[in-house]
């Protein structure tokens, strides 16, 4: 069919793939569209769980793999990686001859993908713009909004923000966050999945466990290791078995990883199991089952809010983002984290919030 619409989707990290997955599967099935997926950034790297393999396992074909991460884990290498993203993605996008290019979220690599798209006169669709969060991620998110031609924000407030920024209302579509569909579709029986791929002691899924995911804050990258230490020793104090996920690739991630590695060597008896990555089908049940989620992942704001998971939000990374009642904000200090986590574990689940959700948003 020569009349198919060419849609190119650029995936830059595992979290964003998790959110987009149901949309991509629908596009892929639709005979009107020819979907071409470009995997880049940390999705290709062993250290971050090589999420591109998950994409393949989900039945989606990868059109191109583009390596852009300059190793170093500091603000300079992070900025340069944006430069490499633009440099490399121009070619990759050209080869897909797209009618539309889809980019999601606010990562630095996504900003690079957006520039490579619009300066080559292709039409850019941005998913999950408009949210207010208060860090460099917010700047990148809004900059992508100003470059994009069509917008699919996740909340009504985000949609209003995008329109206030001057985008035409006819080009702003609020269908909610597609990850809500992943939550609905997810199965509680996650024990049937193979959960023994990480390193460290195995978790006893019939007993309470904590879920930890803490990313470095770019503007505080030199404090990343110290902040993670506070978090880990707080967990040791609480003394409940813990599932931990390695951080993403931002400046400071080497510090966070270093902290986890040292903690494991120095606390060999402690029941901490570290995973590189989860497929959404496993991650959502974990969010449902955990006694408390601790860290600063945006999934603790979105996914967790649909579910009512008690959350301890550590540090400044999500400042400004709309949060539900289930979330307690604390500074990255052991005493504050411990206190808040004990309160949340005691409290148990909250009622689900509708901030980020609409039915059938995909």
146 binds its own copies (CB under 8 A): yes
**Bridge partner residues of 100 (DSSP):** 7, 123
* Residue 25 beta carbon to its own copies: minimum distance, rounded to whole angstroms: 27
Q: At what angle do helices 253-266 and 224-238 cross, to 10 degrees?
A: 40
Nearest to 138 by CA among 171, 105, 109, 170: 105
269 lines the binding site for its own copies (CB under 8 A): no
The least CB distance from residue 225 to its own copies, in Å, is 11
Q: Do 227 and 220 touch, CB atoms closer than 8 A? A: yes
* Residue 359 binding its own copies, by CB under 8 A: no
Nearer to its own copies, 124 or 182 (CB): 124
Q: Smallest distance, Å, CB 265 to its own copies?
A: 6
Interaction of residue 143 with its own copies, rule CB under 8 A: yes
Residue in 33, 58, 62, 70 binding its own copies, rule: CB under 8 A: 70
CB 127 within 8 A of CB 152: yes
Q: Residue 44 or 337: which CB sits closer to its own copies?
A: 44
Q: Choose which of 108, 154, 298, 338 interacts with its own copies (CB under 8 A).
A: 108
Q: Does 157 bind its own copies (CB under 8 A)?
A: no
- Please give the residues from 17 up to 46 whose contact with its own copies meets the rule CB under 8 A: 44-46
| 341: three-class secondary structure by DSSP | helix
Cβ-based neighbours of 318, under 8 Å, separated by 6 or more: 133, 134, 296, 298, 300, 301
Listed in sequence order, the residues at least 6 apart from 90 whose beta carbon sits closer than 8 Å to its beta carbon are 116, 120
Neighbours of 164 (CB within 10 A): 9
* Binding status of residue 84 toward its own copies by CB under 8 A: yes
User: Which H/E stretch holds residue 146?
Assistant: helix 136-147
CA atoms within 13 A on the CB side of 306: 25
User: How far does Cα 41 stand from its chain's mean position?
Assistant: 13
H/E element holding 57?
helix 51-57
> One symbol per residue from 45 to 64: x for binding its own copies (CB under 8 A), - otherwise; what is it?
xxx-----------------
- Cβ distance to its own copies smaller for residue 118 or 238: 118
By CB under 8 A, the residues from 338 to 357 that bind its own copies are none
What mask of x and - would describe binding to its own copies in positions 215 to 234, judged by CB under 8 A? ---xx---------------
How near is the Cβ of 114 to its own copies at its closest, in Å?
9
Binding flag, residue 77, its own copies (CB under 8 A): yes
**DSSP labels for 235-280?**
HHHHT--EEEE---SSTTHHHHHHHHHHHHHHTTTS-EEEES---H
Rounded CA gap, 21 and 360, in Å?
Answer: 13
Mapping DSSP to helix (H, G, I), strand (E, B) and coil, where does residue 330 land? Answer: strand
Alpha-carbon torsion (97, 92, 153, 362), positive or negative: positive
Interface residue with its own copies among 12, 35, 78, 213 (CB under 8 A) is: 78
Q: Which of 20, 37, 102, 136 binds its own copies (CB under 8 A)?
A: 136
Q: What are phi and psi of 140, to 5 degrees?
A: -65, -40
Stretch in the footprint of its own copies (CB under 8 A) among 138-146, 183-191, 323-331, 351-359 = 138-146
142 belongs to the binding site for its own copies (CB under 8 A): yes
Told to check if 139 binds its own copies by CB under 8 A, we report yes
Contact flags string 110-129 toward its own copies, x per CB under 8 A: -xx--xx-xxxx--------
Q: In the complex with its own copies, which residue's Cβ is closer, 108 or 299?
A: 108
Pick the piece of the chain touching its own copies (CB under 8 A) from 8-16, 107-115, 235-243, 335-343: 107-115
Per CB under 8 A, residues contacting its own copies are: 44-47, 67-80, 82-88, 90-91, 94, 108, 111-112, 115-116, 118-121, 136, 139-140, 142-147, 161, 164-166, 199, 218-219, 254, 258, 261, 265
């Amino acid at each position: 069919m020569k009349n198919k619409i060419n849609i190119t989707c650029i995936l830059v990290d595992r979290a964003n793939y998790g959110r987009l997955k149901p949309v991509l599967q629908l596009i892929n099935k639709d005979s009107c569209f020819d979907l071409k997926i470009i995997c880049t950034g940390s999705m290709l790297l062993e250290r971050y769980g090589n999420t591109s393999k998950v994409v393949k396992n989900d039945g989606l074909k990868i059109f191109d793999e583009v390596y852009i991460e300059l190793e170093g884990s500091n603000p300079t290498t992070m900025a340069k990686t944006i430069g490499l993203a633009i440099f490399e993605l121009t070619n990759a996008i050209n080869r897909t001859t797209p009618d539309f290019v889809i980019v999601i979220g606010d990562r630095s690599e996504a900003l690079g993908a957006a520039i490579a798209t619009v300066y080559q006169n292709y039409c850019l669709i941005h998913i999950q713009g408009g949210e207010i969060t208060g860090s460099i991620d917010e700047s990148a998110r809004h900059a992508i909004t100003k470059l994009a031609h069509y917008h699919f924000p996740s909340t009504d407030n985000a949609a209003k923000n995008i329109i206030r920024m001057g985008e035409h209302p006819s080009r702003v579509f609020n269908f909610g966050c597609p990850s809500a569909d992943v939550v609905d579709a997810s199965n509680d029986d996650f024990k049937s999945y193979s959960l023994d791929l990480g390193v460290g002691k195995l978790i006893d899924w019939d007993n309470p466990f904590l879920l930890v995911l803490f990313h470095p804050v770019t503007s505080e990258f030199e404090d990343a290791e110290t902040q993670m230490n506070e978090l880990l020793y707080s967990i040791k104090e609480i003394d409940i078995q813990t599932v931990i996920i390695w951080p993403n690739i931002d400046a400071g991630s080497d510090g966070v990883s270093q902290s986890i590695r040292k903690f494991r060597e120095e606390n060999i008896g402690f029941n901490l199991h570290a995973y590189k990555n989860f497929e959404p089908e496993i991650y959502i049940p974990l969010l449902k089952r955990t006694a408390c989620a601790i860290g600063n992942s945006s999934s603790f704001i979105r996914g967790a809010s649909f579910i009512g998971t008690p959350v301890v939000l550590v540090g400044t990374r999500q400042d400004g983002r709309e949060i539900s009642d289930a979330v307690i904000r604390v500074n990255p200090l052991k005493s504050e984290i411990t206190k808040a986590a004990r309160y949340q574990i005691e409290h148990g689940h909250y009622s689900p919030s509708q901030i980020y959700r609409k039915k059938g948003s995909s």
